[in-house]
Structure 1
Amino acid sequence: MKGDRIWTGHAKCETGEDCVKLKVKWDTGRITARVTGKSGLGFLVEDRQGHHKWLYMEGHSRAQHRYIHSTDFHSDTLPDHRVYEVSEGARLHFIKFETKYIEGCLDFVRGNLVGSREKMAGKVIKATGGGAYKYTKLLQEKLGLSVDKEDEMACLIKGCNFLLKNISDEAFVFQRHGNPEYKFQTADPNIFPYLLVNIGSGVSIMKVESEDAYERIGGTATGGGTFWGLGSLLTKAKGFDELLALAEKGDHRHIDMLVKDIYGGDYKTLGLPGHVIASSFGKAMTSHNESNTNAGARFSEADIARSLLFTISNDIGQIACLYAMMHKLNKVYFGGYFLRNHPLSMHTISFSINYWSRGQVQALFLRHEGYLGAIGAFLKGAEGDADKYSWLENYAGSSGLHTQIPTQVQGVSMDQLEIDRGDSAVTYCPLLAHPALYIPDTVDLTQDTEAREYWLRCFEEAAGKYESRAVSSQPISDTAKDRARKFKEKYVSRLQYLKIQPFAYGSLSVRSLLDTIEHYMREFDFPDPYLEQKQQENEKALRLLSKRLQWLDGLEWSPRQEALVTSVLAGNMFDWGAQEVAQLMENTDFGFYEARAKIQDLIQNIFSLNNSFCLLARPWLVDYLSQWMERLKGPPHKCAAIFVDNSGIDLVLGIIPFARELLQRGTEVILCANSAPALNDVTHVELVGVLKQVAEICGVIRRGLEEGRLVAMETGQGGPCLDLSRLDQSLAAALQEKVDLVVIEGMGRAVHTNLHAVFTCECLKMAVIKNRWLANRLGGDMFSVICKYEPVRVHQSPSLAEEGKKQDGLWLEAGHGHLDSVVVCFLIHKKKSLGLDSAFTSNLYQETGNNRI
């Protein structure tokens, strides 16, 4: 269905009959559709630019969505006309390139992103850096905009604060000979105070104490410009990158005088190792006594470039270290065009900081250090608004560290960063025992080679399944096959790149790989490929709910508690995100769709109404069921927060009976669901719809909803895993106010992430291991069970927690000097498993005591 600004027509059902009439109107940032038809129908709208929007019929009179959302209220008497709005999100696009290409960039911007000069009259462009002054006239002539110059240091600091607070794995320690070389830092809820060292042509050192309190405390004229200038005089290198590449090949020991060159070894009295540089370029002192030929052979250009790089870097490192120690700061962040995440430069500065501070000061680098000023300029232009939203790096549209093939536009190499804006702000889960030490992921795949190789291969093998699912989710689209093919190509290419550079986007994990799938799906206009499937599974499960609840109510207390837990675990088996389970569900023996007639038999076999259900013989892989049941003999919890997983059987026959039991005990319940779609996981909007349907079946649920004792809240996330450092603020406030029990369900949320998360309240983690490789590595088999109850840990120390973890605007930044780069930021509205090491296995044996693993 094509749309311009207003379009009216009919959508066709699978039978070819008109099933819904609609009138679609595009307005700034949203689509409004007037529809007539049955609830439970979804339809696709394609605009004149080829962008797609799914609109889904709901029982609400007015609903705002970001991507696809689905509900079905089985209502035959709906109003003839209802208004549905699809709110669009926004995305920041940053593009970084050398300043010498600025004129070509502005021509591109003028031709593609701005209107006529008359339309742009009176509008302002934010600019920062020396280039904001140097290129003012050029900006005005090319774009017809007024130039609003922002203070460079203020923008750098704003940008740095923004990245540290919002972008996962932004900061890292570089260890050139370490394994891994990149050690990404936990996002600390309190990032202040710190030292920011910006290395451009010169060096500025700033002490940052809060969002608004900072000062320049020093600097040096010996910076990147010095390296480039002297390098141009001493070598034939034609540019900064060529000079760096030359330094990589050299050996500074040929030209630098070391301690051992003077003393024959270590100078132990002063604690100076023999390999430490005593005099930069020291061996060149006698070069005038040699023939020109011998001197040239002895001191190659590569050796000169390397020695020069070490001279500049060591000087910067020592000065920064002295300032940090003087101001009693232990975190020093380095940024600027000189570094550009260049390994040799980072190694030299890290070595210098560590040496002079005796390990007391940490040199930290930023993945996106080249974007600080542009981000700060954007924030200046959006003053007061940025904190109202959440911000998330878009893996599909961003360059990684050391991108092998940079993006090329009109022959210019450039890097890019894309950041998606969420609808509401996020914050740390207030129930985490030690937020500063929290790491969501159970395993860092950059460190575990075996697990990394397995999971990258596993996701690559599954790429075809994702492609097929995407195509089948949009049967009326003529472009679906082409878009799905491009999705697969891009995604597989990214996986191939991650095999070579696993640290390119921070700590590689199953969570980041799953998030990458979602980002690429949305990039190619497949925001919710499992929409219809989720609806069908919800309907089938709802038909069985009444009998299931009757059967549970007929059980004695003890077998009922066991049946409730095993029902959650059994429901969690139905996960389209698990490759081996998806294969089972697609064949005739385990199929929902090729053999729909068998689905009810399947569910009834698993959720037997005739006997007490037993998923697997106990004890399970991790089995705390007895401890959980013992706890239930005590006082009821005040409020339980349950982080739900899959739609359909998992939600309806697993989680809802479990939540119902808690309500009957006098416990309030918050059901926490994704804000945006991911695989077959239930979204918040879908959850609200399902609860209304359940309320027609179950009085306990109905009264819970009416009394406000049962509520659905969104997590602020849109992936199959759970990052408790990025919870929707409203949910976080509710958790802090009254929750004393956290329940986390599913392999993505309770195994791939949060298996070792420590809380200040009780916690129950339940999951079925639906991956044979992972189950075997843990000492179990396919469908092994983790049921981990954790009582409140009194006086839990940070050291123990640490051990457990083992378990429509335009902004431009232009530098003045030749060394500097340009970063352009476009704010464009858009439409909207784990590998565990032997140490972890050992910990599981210790945790479960006499229980079998």
Structure 2
Amino acid sequence: AMATWASSATSMPRAATRVRARIGAGGATGRVALRPRRRPVPRAAPVTTSTTPPPFVDFDTTGCGPFPLLDPTRGYTHVSPGVCDTCADSAEARRAWVELLLGQLPSHRANAERTAKFLGDECPPDYTERYRAWEGDYEAYLEEVSKDGVPKGAGATLLDMVDEKERLLRRRGLDDMFAGMKAGENAIASVLFHSIASEIDGIWFPARTIDGDTPDDDATAKAAMIRAVIECCLAGNLFDAGAAAAVQGVQVGDFCEPCVVEPDSREMSEEEAGRYGLDANQLAEVFARARARVSRDASGGWRFDSLSEIVSRCVKTENPGWRRIVVFCDNAGADVMGMVILARALAAVGGDDTKVALVANTHAALNDVTHAELCGFLWSAAGGGGEGPADPVLAAQMERGRVTAVPGGQFSTLLDLNRTGPELNAWVEEEFRSVPAGEEWLVVFDGMGRGLESNWNPAPYFKDGVNALNLAMVKSEINARRLGAEVYDCVVKLSVGGSK
């Protein structure tokens, strides 16, 4: 859930402009040494401004540890070898990511105001002042980590930078700055979910998941269904508060390259501000445009394209799909809707012995969906409460434990597999009893933060045979350049544990 590349200092606060003056346009490339496992982590200085927040309690990582599907002998020491580790070694690389993080601030400001309205009477009277103070805290931290003269391997990584963002927010009493946005988008996406699920079932319907009838095993129909599901996942991944300009490029229908500074909410017209919030009809329209843009047939193939391998696995006549699947979810709203559609489809393909764990952050981080919000979305999509449409397929899968939500223990917009939460690790260990680590396991990394900016190449670190699927849309120039891709290109990359 990272953001759009920013190319100028327009509309940015004075401190951000000072930091920008120190930043060059390039980023480091090439192979670098891995980050030392126990080096000191750069942190911001203590808060000294006059605004007094509630007492800060750091994130509870008790019981967190390495993801059980990692091979402990293969040296997974950080979230993304070649990306975050480059930051640790290179001030130039750090400044490139600082530029990106500063470019997020105006859209953060807009969403802080949105959350203040969402909280209503429960909103602290000094909420806006706390937010402004946080901006100053974070800008000062980013200015510090941009400096030269840091020993190789000791610089702040991208993971450090986004972790410190969340710590500083909590020091200011801003535990979930995007709560309002996520609540609205989840509610709207849960409505859209049912029309998408109905469309998917119209392509290939797994009758055995409901009443035990003879399943539809037509390989052509099943392949078309899998392609449609993945296209929905890619389209949903577009909706990212950290890449608001990319979303707006789709809303206006031109898929323009999102390489400008996000607009300042204080300078927006009412119409412009409305572009940051979509109602149900608008979401359906923009989602349809995004699906058309990511269509594999229309594009002639994705930039990274493993669809044929995925389809081959799913259309097998014996033991199709995977028996155990872990899906690391990214953003709220349309993105998590796509992951639920994916979980629903893979559970149907695999049959009664397939289990899918949808994993979300334990703690809030930008607009990433949390475990609590994911549970609410699943409950609503399945028809909980009887107030809206019901999905009997998803409801049956959840009732039988074939689709479940598990907290991931994380508090970051990136994913560090060395610190996954105790609930997730226990779920995986328990499932090892019936399905040992190997080719029957699939791990899905949704979005840029989890699958591009971290864990781009997880296969060398997984146990032999474990499958990894990176699913994302490229939404920022910094990632596009690193991957030799273009903004709006799609990543559907399947790899196998133990391979290079």
Same fold (TM over 0.5): yes
Per-residue displacement from partner, 1:768-827 (whole Å, max 9, x unpaired)? 11102321342221111121101344xx6xxxxxxx5xxxxxxxxxxxxxxxxxxxxxxx
Residue 84 of structure 1 is matched in structure 2 by none
Kindly provide the amino acid, as one letter, of the partner of residue 357 in structure 2.
Answer: I
Query: How many angstroms apart in 2 are the aligned matches of 1:618 and 1:450?
Result: 36
Instruction: Please tell me whether residue 647 in structure 1 is matched to residue 332 in structure 2.
Output: yes
Separation in structure 2 between the aligned mates of residue 612 and residue 573 of structure 1, nearest angstrom: 10
Deviations 1:590-640 (A, max 9, x none): 9252787633322233357xx994486143222111112112233232211
d(CA) in 2 for partners of 1:682, 1:537: 11
Cα deviation, residue 698, structure 1: 1.2
Give the strand-richer structure, 1 or 2: 1
Shift of residue 502 of structure 1?
7.9
Deviations 1:275-317 (CA, angstroms, capped at 9, x unpaired)? xxxxxxxxxxxxxxxxxxxxxxxxxxxxxxxxxxxxxxxxxxx
Name the structure 1 match of 2:442.
741
For residue 445 of structure 1, give the secondary structure of its aligned residue in structure 2: helix
Match status 1:567 vs 2:232: yes
Q: What is residue 542 of structure 1 aligned with on the other side?
A: 190
- Distance between the aligned counterparts of 1:616 and 1:490, measured in 2? 46
In the other structure, the counterpart of 1:729 is: 422
After TM superposition, the structure 1 stretch with the greater mean CA deviation from structure 2, 441-450 or 780-789, is 441-450
Give the 3 Å change call, closer, same or farther, for CA 471–539 of structure 1 in structure 2: closer
Taking the aligned partners of 1:502 and 1:513, their CA distance within structure 2 comes to: 18
2:147 is matched with 500
Q: Decide whether aligned partners of structure 1 residues 616 and 458 sit closer, same or farther in structure 2, where only a CA change above 3 A counts.
A: farther
> 1:791 — aligned with what?
496
Q: Measure, in 1, the Cα distance between the counterparts of 2:109 and 2:297.
A: 32
Does the residue aligned with 1:500 lie in a helix, a strand or coil? coil
Counterpart CA distance in 1 for 2:415 and 2:297 is: 25
Find out whether 1:576 has 2:223 as its counterpart: no
| 1:473-513 residue CA offsets vs partner (Å, 9 max, x unmatched) | 22443312221221111111111111115859955332222
Q: What are the superposed Cα offsets for residues 128-150 of structure 1, whole Å, 9 maximum, x if unpaired? A: xxxxxxxxxxxxxxxxxxxxxxx
Q: Distance in 2 between matches of 1:459 and 1:615?
A: 34
**2:362–2:411 contact (8 Å) kept in structure 1:** yes
TM-score scaled by length of structure 1 = 0.43
Give the secondary structure class of the aligned counterpart of 1:469. helix
What is the rounded CA distance, in whole Å, between the counterparts of 1:495 and 1:612 in structure 2?
35
Q: Does 1:481 align with 2:128?
A: yes
Distance 2:371 2:489 in 1: 29
Alignment partners' CA distance in 2, 1:617 and 1:502: 46
**Using a 3 Å threshold, how does the CA distance of structure 1 residues 471 and 394 change in structure 2: closer, same or farther?**
farther
**Does the aligned pair in 2 maintain the 1:769–1:783 contact within 8 Å?**
yes
The question of whether the paired residues in 1 share the 8 Å contact of 2:244 and 2:276 is answered with no
Structure 2 residue aligned with 1:604, among 281, 288, 297? 288
Q: Closer, same or farther in 2 for the Cα pair 1:183/1:698, shift >3 Å?
A: closer
Identify which range, 695-704 or 717-726, moves more after superposition. Answer: 695-704
Kindly provide the CA deviation profile for residues 645-697 of structure 1, in whole angstroms up to 9, marking residues without a partner as x: 11111111x11111111121222111111001111111011111111111112
Structure 1 residues 487 and 432, CA gap change in structure 2 (3 angstroms): same
CA RMSD of aligned residues (A): 3.3
Secondary structure at the residue paired with 2:342?
helix
Distance change >3 Å, CA 435–CA 483, structure 1 → 2: farther
Q: Structure 1 residue 718: deviation in Å?
A: 1.0
Residue 710 of structure 1 deviates from its aligned partner by 1.6
Change (3 A) 1:554 1:461: closer
Query: Which of 752, 758, 762 is 2:453 aligned to?
Result: 752
Deviations 1:347-395, CA, capped at 9 Å, x for gaps: xxxxxxxxxxxxxxxxxxx63xxxxxxxxxxxxxxxxxxxxxxxxx793
Whichever residue aligns with residue 689 of structure 1, its letter is G
Residue 395 of structure 1 aligns to a residue in which SS?
Answer: coil
Tell me the alpha carbon deviations over residues 412-457 of structure 1, each in whole angstroms, 9 at most, x when there is no partner: xxxxxx9825164111011113455102124121334543222112
Instruction: Give how far 1:469 is off.
Output: 2.9
Tell me which of 74, 78, 98 is aligned to 1:456.
Answer: 98
1:720: which partner in 2? 413
Conserved in 1, the CA contact under 8 Å of 2:238 and 2:290?
no
In structure 1, what residue type is equivalent to 2:421? D
- Identify unmatched segments of 5+ residues in structure 1: 1-178, 188-365, 368-392, 400-406, 409-417, 797-803, 805-853
Task: Give the distance between the partners of 1:422 and 1:428, measured in 2 at CA.
Answer: 16
Match of 2:392 in 1: 699
How many residues matched?
A: 395
Alpha-carbon distance in 1 for matches of 2:114, 2:129:
13
| Structure 1 letter corresponding to 2:96 | Y
Aligned AA (1:641): V
Question: By how many angstroms is 1:534 displaced?
Answer: 0.9
Letter aligned with residue 79 of structure 2: P
- Take 2:37 and 2:57, find their aligned partners in 1: how far apart are those partners? 20
2:68 paired with 1:430:
yes
Residues 223, 315 of structure 2: 8 Å contact kept = no
- Residue type at the aligned position of 2:426: A
Residue identity matched to 2:339 = I
Match of residue 163 from structure 2 = 515
- Which residue in the other structure is 2:363 paired with? 676
Matched residue of 1:630: which SS?
helix
Distance 1:605 1:589 in 2: 21
Partners of 2:339 and 2:131 lie apart in 1 by 33
- The answer for the alignment partner of 1:768 in structure 2 is 473
Change (3 A) 1:544 1:472: closer
* Counterpart among 105, 112, 117 of residue 470 in structure 1: 112
User: Which one of the candidate residues 285, 305, 314 is aligned to 1:632?
Assistant: 314
Q: Which residue of 1 aligns with 2:345?
A: 661
Q: Please give the residue correspondences for 1:354-433 in structure 2 after superposition, counting only pairs within 5 Å.
A: 367=40, 395-396=43-44, 420-422=58-60, 424-433=62-71
Indicate conservation of the 8 Å contact 1:588/1:595, yes or no.
no
Contact 1:766–1:788, Cα closer than 8 Å, also in 2: yes
Amino acid at match of 2:417: L
CA distance 1:397–1:709, change in 2 (3 Å): farther
Q: Distance in 1 between matches of 2:132 and 2:34?
A: 35
Q: Do the aligned partners of residues 424 and 561 (structure 1) sit closer, same or farther apart at CA in structure 2, a change above 3 Å counting? A: same
The answer to whether the Cα contact below 8 Å between 2:231 and 2:294 also exists between their aligned partners in 1 is no
* Bigger Rg, structure 1 or 2: 1
Structure 1 residues 165-220: Cα deviation after superposition (integer angstroms, max 9, x where no partner)? xxxxxxxxxxxxxx999974136xxxxxxxxxxxxxxxxxxxxxxxxxxxxxxxxx
Normalised TM-score (structure 2): 0.71
Q: Could you say if the C-alpha distance between residues 755 and 469 of structure 1 is closer, same or farther in structure 2, counting changes exceeding 3 Å?
A: same
Task: State the alpha-carbon separation in 2 of the partners of residues 539 and 183 from structure 1.
Answer: 42
Amino acid at match of 2:336: L
Q: Which protein is richer in helix relative to its size?
A: 2
Q: Equivalents in 2 of 1:689, 1:396: separation in Å? A: 34
Contact 1:766 1:786 in 2 (8 A): yes
Amino acid at match of 1:511: L
Shift of 1:461: 3.4
Secondary structure of the corresponding residue to residue 568 of structure 1: helix
- CA separation in 2, counterparts of 1:632 and 1:594? 35
